[in-house]
Amino acid sequence: MSAPAGRIGSHSGRGLARGGRSRLQLAGATALVTGATGGLGGAIASALRDRGAELLLSGRRAAELASVAAPLQARTALADLTVREDVERLGALALEAGVDVLVANAALPASGVLPDLTDVQIDRMLDVNLRAPIMLAHALSPALIARGRGHLVFVSSLSGKAAAPASSLYSATKFGLRGFALALRQDLAPHGVGVSLVAPGFIRDAGMFAASGVKLPPGAGTRTPSDVAAAVIRVIESDRAELDVAPAALRAGAAFASLAPQLAASASRLAGSDRVSTELARRQRDQR
């Protein structure tokens, strides 16, 4: 049975640091997964549990959170990441639980052209997608450093490498999250604490893109929530800095966009990216 929201029990985390690299053993470790009520969060939580991790799951919808947590025997913590007091409380609960692994998965679509967004919507997007992961890492890092083990995983997006129309705020948060994670990795590596970034492309079956129902152009493939979950496990167990979860063509396109953004944007428009981005923004309007 899952514990009541906000209640934390004991844990038994194990890990091994070698030469400044994180070699965390997930069996017996305690992992916090944010955004656990989304399709990706549930898949990630299940994969961590399969590897023997104890779970602390966070979300803002009590009934859905309890439904995800029960079969995984996970503890839960209700938290709305747009509320700064909730983020602070979640960080304190994670410390009390002795969390070894953070998977910062929660995110808002943050789509739409800038003039259409209100100040409140902009603040919500920045708070959930960028500020909350940073503050949770800030809360947990001193304890992980003191123990000489642990891993922080940030679920980003290929939109953190390649910008698209009608997504300036989303790209801002994901580009920012990537820069934060890669720099933090350098800071924490000497202490045996790993930091990794997982960057999904278009994910079918569950998650923000799947929920939108937008049709992709021919050849723009997708991946599954289980693929994202497998990537999370892989970056933790191999201490990998970054892993994209997308077909080869999309990965290559994102890499090209980082080298030649203007040329890549022109090629992307010819492939139909404007239609996809505009339609995503329209269908995700009520999620801002």
Indicate if the alpha-carbon torsion angle 17, 19, 20, 22 is positive or negative. Answer: negative
Query: Which alpha helices (DSSP H) does the chain contain, by range?
Result: 39-50, 62-69, 84-97, 119-126, 132-147, 168-188, 208-212, 225-238, 248-259, 261-270, 273-283
Contact 66, 1 (CB under 8 A): no
User: Which residue carries 């339609």 as its tokens?
Assistant: 279
Let me know if 126 is a catalytic residue: no
Q: Which residues pair with 103 in a beta bridge?
A: 33, 153
The token duo for 143 is 């304890």
Q: Which of 40, 55, 170, 242 is catalytic?
A: 170
Residue 240, both tokens: 């990998």
Residue found under tokens 């004991």: 10
CA distance to 93, 221, 230, per residue, from 254 (Å) = 37, 14, 21
User: Do 109 and 280 contact (CB within 8 A), yes or no?
Assistant: yes
Q: How far is CA 206 from the centre of its chain?
A: 14
Most distant CA atoms of the chain, gap in Å: 55
- Are residues 272 and 164 in contact, defined by beta-carbon separation less than 8 angstroms? no
Catalytic positions, please?
A: 170
